């Protein structure tokens, strides 16, 4: 008999797959199913990235490995942009190019955390963070946020969960699943409290270019960030390059050198062709996502208008991301609610329970994932379903 370690058996797949499977069956029966499930931007990648990849196909280098931590020209260009974008005092040596943000997070965890260490996740958390902590053999500690409306993260939320066994705290700003961002003063306090205790901050800033009110606060913008901060980033959302699998770790050069060993052991390097495309995006289209901010703001407003008219639904528009994390009065089984919504209204939404115990009673709507017509139809169906409920 195959014996699987308990830590792997304990990992649960998020509910996206069964929902998508059922959505596929309904579509095959001719139903018009609209998915507000996946965290995808509705726009295509920038033409500069596609052109660069097409041109690269005729170069022999594209078929080879790159250097382990990524192409030097991409690391240089990205360091310069990040310096301007998030105020991080950094250079090429402080970056490892990875196969996406999830892989960056896995590499950072493997580099920093021992089995049995505690890793604190403010909750609701991003499901894959929780799964990866489980996979690493560390212990995931859920720190429910006190403010379960605006979902702001403050030091007081974390201080209760931090113990002498805490090795790292995971931040996610803007947050998946809530879209909430961490305010500068709160973030600076969190980083400094944790640094003084020798605890790492792993800050997933996948949505750094999707902040609509104010500016993005990055954990790497604090003085002395190198001592205790690792930032995770990606090309998946800002440049809609999900399938290209390219992201990065931003951390002190010494840490990057250690992480490069893990990267070499796992995948050697991020896909070369994706790095070439990413470099073109960095050089020619760094601000690409910003041209869609107007549309994201408009949709956020449309969601607020629709939900405001429905008794029993509660949501405060968030400052970033493209998520509405909506509380449903009386809901104690969000997976069952998501199934009913799919069956009756033909809309896919993700049950809040997928993002931790404190997410129960909510649904996550990814309002940036579909075209405008589908988006409007989905809103009408949601309002009509919940008005009848």
Ligand X SMILES: Cc1ncc(COP(=O)(O)O)c(C=O)c1O
Nearer Cβ to ligand X, position 48 or 178?
178
Least distance (Å) from ligand X to the CB of residue 30? 30
Strand partners, 249: 96, 232
Q: According to the 3-state scheme, what is the secondary structure of the chain?
A: CCCCCHHHHCCCCCCHHHHHHHHHHHHHCCCCCEECCCCCCCCCCCHHHHHHHHHHCCCHHHHCCCCCCCCHHHHHHHHHHHHHHHCCCCCHHHEEEECCHHHHHHHHHHHHCCCCCEEEEEECCCHHHHHHHHHHCCEEEEEECCCCCCCCCCHHHHHCCCCCCEEEEEEECCCCCCCCCCCHHHHHHHHHHHHHCCCEEEEECCCCCCECCCCCCCHHHCCCHHHCEEEEEECCCCCCCHHHCCEEEECCHHHHHHHHHHHHHHCCCCCHHHHHHHHHHHHHCCCHHHHHHHHHHHHHHHHHHHHHCCCCEECCCCCECCEEEEEECCCCCHHHHHHHHHHHHCEECEEHHHHCHHHCCEEEEECCCCCHHHHHHHHHHHHHHHHHC
| Residue 238 lies near ligand X (rule: CB under 6 A) | no
Nearer Cβ to ligand X, position 180 or 345?
180
- Tell me which stretch binds ligand X (CB under 6 A): 42-50, 94-102, 161-169, 184-192: 94-102
- Tell me which stretch binds ligand X (CB under 6 A): 1-9, 23-31, 234-242, 248-256: 234-242
| Residue 206 lies near ligand X (rule: CB under 6 A) | yes
Site string for ligand X, 24-43 (x = CB under 6 A): ---------------x----
Pick from 35, 102, 111, 275 the residue near ligand X by CB under 6 A. 102
| Residue 106 lies near ligand X (rule: CB under 6 A) | no
Site string for ligand X, 157-176 (x = CB under 6 A): ---------------x---x
Least distance (Å) from ligand X to the CB of residue 39? 4
Determine contact, residues 304/315, Cβ cutoff 8 Å. Answer: yes
Q: According to the 3-state scheme, what is the secondary structure of 263-274?
A: HHHHCCCCCHHH
| Residue 130 lies near ligand X (rule: CB under 6 A) | no
Which position's Cβ is nearest ligand X?
100
Pick from 234, 275, 334, 358 the residue near ligand X by CB under 6 A. 234
Nearer Cβ to ligand X, position 172 or 383?
172
Least distance (Å) from ligand X to the CB of residue 176? 3
- Tell me which stretch binds ligand X (CB under 6 A): 47-55, 97-105, 292-300, 336-344: 97-105
Least distance (Å) from ligand X to the CB of residue 266? 14
Name residues contacting ligand X, limited to 172-201 (CB under 6 A).
172, 176
| Residue 249 lies near ligand X (rule: CB under 6 A) | no
| Residue 320 lies near ligand X (rule: CB under 6 A) | no
| Residue 139 lies near ligand X (rule: CB under 6 A) | no
Nearer Cβ to ligand X, position 236 or 272?
236
Question: How many residues sit in the footprint of ligand X (CB under 6 A)?
Answer: 13
Least distance (Å) from ligand X to the CB of residue 76? 21
- Tell me which stretch binds ligand X (CB under 6 A): 63-71, 100-108, 223-231, 294-302: 100-108
Is the CA virtual torsion 143, 325, 238, 50 positive or negative? Answer: positive
**Residue ranges in contact with ligand X by CB under 6 A:** 39, 100-102, 126, 172, 176, 204, 206, 234, 236, 242, 247
């Amino acid at each position: 008999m195959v014996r699987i370690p308990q830590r792997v058996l304990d990992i649960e797949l998020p509910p996206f797959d069964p929902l998508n499977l059922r959505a596929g069956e309904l579509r095959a029966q001719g139903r018009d199913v609209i998915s507000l499930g996946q965290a995808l931007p509705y726009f295509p990648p920038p033409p500069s990235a596609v052109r660069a990849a097409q041109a690269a196909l005729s170069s022999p280098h594209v078929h080879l490995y790159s250097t382990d931590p990524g192409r030097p020209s991409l690391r240089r260009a990205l360091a310069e942009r990040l310096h301007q974008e998030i105020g991080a005092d950094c250079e090429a040596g402080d970056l490892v190019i990875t196969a996406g943000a999830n892989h960056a997070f896995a590499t950072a965890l493997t580099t920093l955390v021992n089995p049995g260490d505690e890793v604190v996740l403010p909750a609701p958390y991003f499901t894959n963070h929780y799964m990866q902590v489980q996979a690493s053999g560390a212990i995931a500690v859920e720190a429910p946020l006190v403010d379960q409306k605006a979902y702001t993260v403050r030091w007081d939320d974390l201080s209760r969960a931090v113990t002498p066994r805490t090795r790292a705290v995971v931040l996610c700003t803007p947050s998946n699943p809530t879209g909430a961002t961490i305010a500068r003063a709160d973030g600076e306090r969190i980083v400094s409290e944790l640094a003084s205790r020798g605890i790492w901050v792993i800050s997933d800033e996948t949505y750094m270019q999707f902040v609509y009110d104010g500016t993005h606060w990055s954990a790497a913008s604090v003085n002395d960030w190198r001592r205790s901060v690792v930032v995770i980033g990606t090309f998946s959302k800002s440049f809609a390059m999900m399938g290209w699998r390219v992201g990065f770790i931003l951390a002190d050069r010494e840490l990057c050198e250690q992480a490069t060993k893990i990267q070499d052991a796992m995948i050697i390097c991020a896909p070369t062709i994706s790095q070439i495309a990413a470099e073109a995006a960095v050089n020619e289209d760094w601000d690409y996502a910003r041209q869609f901010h107007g549309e994201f703001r408009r949709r956020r407003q449309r969601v607020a208008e629709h939900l405001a008219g429905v008794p029993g639904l509660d949501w405060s528009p968030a400052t970033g991301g493209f998520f509405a994390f909506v509380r449903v009065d009386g809901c104690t089984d969000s997976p069952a609610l998501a199934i009913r919504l799919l069956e009756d209204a033909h809309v896919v939404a993700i049950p809040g329970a997928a993002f931790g115990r404190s997410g129960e009673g909510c649904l996550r709507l990814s309002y940036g994932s579909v075209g405008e017509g589908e988006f409007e139809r989905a809103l009408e169906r949601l309002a009509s379903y919940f008005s009848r409920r």
